[in-house]
């Protein structure tokens, strides 16, 4: 290929490169408008020692060395950009207190003392400073608008444009505005002509003011109550609800009791409408009966001019005592008459005692069961244990239900002595509830009369009551002892008995022998809807049976009743006059007893007077 043929191609390629460069450069330059300013923007204040650093995003300033022996004290600082070392420089708080790197980073040293360098950092960049104040508004000659202490008035229109006067506190400035023209007043107010229509004699104006950040602050924790050996983590959310970024954000945390793991945290920048979440960890205090403390966070940030903005918030947190007790049950649902491994089903109760202090402690543990529960293999629900530092002990025992229903267990408690004072703590959290289901049959055996003579009859009543919450298939066959005969009714029964239902049955017996003193207990068998089998026994019924005795000498055949063991009153053989004499003697005896009181009183008074 000849040089003459290649020249046009090279020229075209060169032209394309130039056009591409222009296309790329022009939008970049046009990305900034009158609302942006290329200024030194405050990035934050720092106090750092040897080996420590101040991070501003792209740049990091690190202290290499500090000389406290000089007059004045001095230091050598290192500059990193994007984690790459760039240069070192010498600073002191006086003549050498400022250093500019690459026309983009400004370091101002405020002081050097106590092996620390106090400095401020600024970066030069474009900042979107001016924020719309009054949106585009149409005005004609003579009309005006106001924004705070500024008043904008249209004086009139000419070939040069619209004559606009801007006044503040009596000072008036007049300018000619055309489409796109804007002007800044007192570095705090901008007026811009968005569009000018000369034919209609109208102009559309907008005003702008410098933006400002605004800090909103919130702090939350996962719960309200903690153990003293559990570090507490708080989420502190700093939100910028202003119109310009907030920079050099410093979060300071303090507590009324306990320790803050990282009391000072920093963040480079928070853009408008965005937020930054800080994690604050607190080691809670330890107290014999627990305590509460307040966490306070204070946030400081700066706008592009270095003007500070602050906000603060607090949160209260409670901490348990360093001795704590927990109570749990397993299972929390039981069935009466369910047999597991040959034994009635029971619940297991666990008492976990924690010692969160750094010393051992002897404690007494107490628990309590509802009356319908029986502890197994336990003489008492009281224990004494020694807790090692920062340790836990578990006490476990079994309890068997005897009734159906829903039972709320009482809190367990732990007692200990510290510094001569006695402290008591109870289980915390929700109470334990045990639901007991199944069948429980209550059986009563009654007699219509239990004092009988041989040959007399009595009615036997069997009353079955299902005091459980499940239906049962019930059966029984009452045992009839020798010398007793059933002469009416049935002494056995089987059928269903629903929850809360009652069954009455009666049969009649005749006593044939005198040596019967009681009827056997009746045993009732049942099966619930879950095929759990069980039985129960009634109360014992006593009998008093006597024979009819004929007297050895009597003129007439008559029945003499023997003396009943309850010692009834003897029959009276007194005649009418004998009865009258008995009444008179009784009256005289009673009268003598009553007379003793006034006679005794009289004698006592006479003796005192004499």
Last residue in a domain, options 77, 110, 125 = 125
- With beta carbons less than 8 A apart as the criterion, state whether 399 and 421 touch: no
Q: Are residues 445 and 389 in the same domain?
A: no
The predicted pLDDT at position 13 comes to: 55
Asked whether the predicted pLDDT for residue 512 surpasses 60, the reply is yes
Single out the residue of 172, 173, 185, 180 nearest to residue 203, CA to CA: 180
Q: What is the pLDDT of residues 318-327, one digit of tens each?
A: 988 889 899 9
- Residue 565 maps to a domain: no
CATH of the domain at 482: 2.60.40.10
Q: Which has more confidence, 572 or 349?
A: 349
Asked whether the predicted pLDDT for residue 35 surpasses 80, the reply is yes
- Residue 48 maps to a domain: yes
Mean pLDDT of the residues in the chain = 86
The predicted pLDDT at position 570 comes to: 40
Asked whether the predicted pLDDT for residue 132 surpasses 60, the reply is yes
CB-CB neighbours of 129 under 10 Å = 21
CA R_g for the chain: 51
Asked whether the predicted pLDDT for residue 22 surpasses 80, the reply is no
Q: Which has more confidence, 430 or 345?
A: 345
Q: Are residues 329 and 432 in the same domain?
A: yes
The predicted pLDDT at position 33 comes to: 83
Residue 237 tokens read as 């959310």
- Residue 251 maps to a domain: yes
The predicted pLDDT at position 12 comes to: 59
Q: Are residues 116 and 147 in the same domain?
A: no
Q: Are residues 145 and 236 in the same domain?
A: no
Please give the average per-residue pLDDT across 543-548, as a whole number: 88
Q: Are residues 394 and 491 in the same domain?
A: no
Split at pLDDT 50, 70, 90, the class of 29 is: very low
Split at pLDDT 50, 70, 90, the class of 57 is: confident
Q: Are residues 426 and 333 in the same domain?
A: yes
Q: Are residues 253 and 308 in the same domain?
A: yes
- Alpha-carbon dihedral sign for residues 305, 306, 308, 309: positive
Q: Are residues 156 and 114 in the same domain?
A: no
CATH of the domain at 73: 2.60.98.40
Q: Cβ neighbours of residue 114 under 8 Å, at least 6 residues apart?
A: none
The predicted pLDDT at position 571 comes to: 41
Alpha helices in 297-440, H assignment, sequence order: none
Single out the residue of 404, 354, 395 nearest to residue 375, CA to CA: 395
Among the listed ranges 67-71, 165-169, 412-416, 556-560, which one has the minimum average pLDDT value?
A: 556-560
Q: What is the pLDDT of residues 144-158, one digit of tens each?
A: 999 999 999 999 999
The predicted pLDDT at position 583 comes to: 59
Single out the residue of 104, 108, 158 nearest to residue 126, CA to CA: 104
- Residue 99 maps to a domain: yes
With a pLDDT cut of 70, the percent of the chain lying above it is 85
The predicted pLDDT at position 603 comes to: 55
Overall domain count for the chain: 5
- Residue 586 maps to a domain: no
Asked whether the predicted pLDDT for residue 276 surpasses 80, the reply is yes
Among the listed ranges 195-199, 328-332, 346-350, 596-600, which one has the minimum average pLDDT value?
A: 596-600
Q: Are residues 328 and 381 in the same domain?
A: yes
The predicted pLDDT at position 30 comes to: 42
Q: What is the pLDDT of residues 452-472, one digit of tens each?
A: 999 999 999 999 999 999 999
Q: Are residues 460 and 538 in the same domain?
A: yes
- Residue 229 maps to a domain: yes
Asked whether the predicted pLDDT for residue 555 surpasses 80, the reply is no
State how far the Cα of 416 lies from the Cα of 321, in Å rounded to an integer: 12
- pTM here? 0.55
Q: What is the extent of the structural domain holding 157?
A: 130-210
The predicted pLDDT at position 347 comes to: 94
Last residue in a domain, options 252, 284, 319 = 319
Q: How many residues are given for the chain?
A: 610
- Residue 33 maps to a domain: no
Give me the residue label for tokens 């029986």: 374
- Residue 362 maps to a domain: yes
Please give the average per-residue pLDDT across 17-27, as a whole number: 46
Q: Cβ neighbours of residue 214 under 8 Å, at least 6 residues apart?
A: 240, 241, 242, 309
The predicted pLDDT at position 52 comes to: 94
The predicted pLDDT at position 565 comes to: 47
- With beta carbons less than 8 A apart as the criterion, state whether 293 and 199 touch: no
The predicted pLDDT at position 25 comes to: 41
The predicted pLDDT at position 550 comes to: 63
Q: Are residues 462 and 422 in the same domain?
A: no
- With beta carbons less than 8 A apart as the criterion, state whether 56 and 107 touch: no
Q: Are residues 377 and 395 in the same domain?
A: yes
The predicted pLDDT at position 561 comes to: 47
Please give the average per-residue pLDDT across 416-421, as a whole number: 89
Please give the average per-residue pLDDT across 373-398, as a whole number: 92
Q: What is the pLDDT of residues 577-604, one digit of tens each?
A: 445 455 556 566 666 566 665 665 555 5
Last residue in a domain, options 496, 527, 546 = 546
State how far the Cα of 176 lies from the Cα of 199, in Å rounded to an integer: 16
The predicted pLDDT at position 227 comes to: 83
């Amino acid at each position: 290929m000849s040089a003459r043929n290649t020249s046009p191609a090279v020229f075209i390629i060169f032209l394309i490169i130039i056009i591409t460069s222009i296309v790329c450069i022009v939008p970049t330059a046009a990305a900034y408008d009158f609302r942006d300013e290329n200024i030194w923007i405050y990035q934050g204040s720092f106090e750092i020692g040897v080996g420590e650093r101040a991070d501003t995003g792209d740049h990091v300033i690190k202290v290499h060395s500090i000389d406290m022996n000089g007059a004045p004290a001095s230091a050598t600082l290192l500059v990193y950009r994007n984690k790459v070392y760039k240069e070192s420089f010498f600073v002191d708080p006086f003549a050498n207190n400022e250093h500019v790197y690459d026309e983009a980073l400004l370091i101002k040293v405020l002081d050097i003392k106590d092996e620390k360098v106090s400095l401020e950092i600024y970066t030069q960049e474009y900042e979107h400073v001016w924020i719309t104040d009054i949106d585009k508004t149409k005005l004609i000659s003579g009309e005006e608008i106001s924004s705070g202490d500024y008043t904008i008035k249209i004086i009139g229109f000419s070939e040069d444009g619209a004559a606009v006067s801007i006044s503040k506190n009596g000072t008036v400035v007049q300018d000619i505005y055309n489409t796109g023209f804007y002007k800044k007043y007192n570095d705090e107010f901008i007026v811009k002509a968005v569009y000018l229509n000369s034919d209609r004699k109208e102009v559309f104006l907008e005003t702008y003011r410098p933006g400002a950040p605004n800090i909103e602050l919130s702090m939350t924790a996962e719960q309200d109550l903690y153990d003293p050996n559990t570090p507490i983590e708080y989420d502190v959310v700093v939100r910028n609800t202003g119109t310009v970024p907030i920079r050099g954000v410093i979060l300071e945390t303090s507590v009324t009791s306990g320790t803050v793991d990282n009391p000072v945290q920093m963040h480079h920048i928070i853009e408008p409408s965005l937020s930054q979440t800080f994690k604050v960890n607190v080691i809670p205090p330890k107290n014999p009966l627990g305590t509460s403390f307040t966490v306070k966070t204070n946030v400081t940030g700066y706008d592009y001019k270095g003007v500070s903005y602050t906000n603060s918030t607090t949160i209260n947190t409670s901490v348990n005592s360093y001795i704590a007790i927990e109570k749990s049950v397993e299972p929390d649902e039981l069935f009466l008459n369910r047999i597991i491994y040959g034994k009635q089903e029971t619940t297991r109760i666990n008492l976990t005692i924690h010692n969160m202090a750094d010393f051992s402690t002897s404690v007494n543990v107490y628990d309590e069961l509802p009356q319908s529960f029986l502890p197994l293999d336990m003489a008492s629900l009281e224990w004494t244990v020694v807790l090692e530092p920062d340790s836990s002990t578990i006490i476990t025992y079994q309890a068997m239900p005897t009734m159906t229903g829903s039972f709320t267990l009482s809190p367990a408690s732990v007692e200990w002595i510290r510094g001569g004072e006695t402290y008591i703590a109870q289980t915390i959290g929700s109470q334990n509830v045990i639901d007991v289901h199944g069948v429980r049959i209550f059986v009563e055996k009654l007699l219509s009369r239990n004092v009988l003579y041989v040959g007399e009859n009595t009615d036997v009543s069997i009353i079955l009551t299902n005091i459980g919450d499940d239906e049962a298939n019930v059966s029984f066959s009452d045992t009839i002892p020798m010398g007793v005969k059933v002469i009416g009714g049935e002494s056995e029964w089987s059928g269903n008995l629903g929850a809360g239902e009652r069954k009455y049955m009666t049969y009649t017996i005749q006593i044939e022998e005198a040596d019967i003193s009681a009827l056997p207990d009746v045993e009732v068998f049942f099966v619930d809807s879950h095929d759990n089998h069980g039985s129960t026994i009634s109360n014992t019924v006593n009998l008093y049976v006597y024979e009819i005795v004929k007297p050895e000498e009597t003129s007439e055949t008559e029945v003499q009743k023997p003396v009943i063991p309850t010692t009834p009153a003897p029959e009276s053989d007194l005649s009418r006059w004998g009865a009258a004499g008995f009444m008179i003697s009784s009256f005289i005896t009673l009268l003598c007893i009553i007379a003793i009181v006034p006679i005794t009183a009289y004698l006592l008074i006479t003796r005192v007077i004499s």
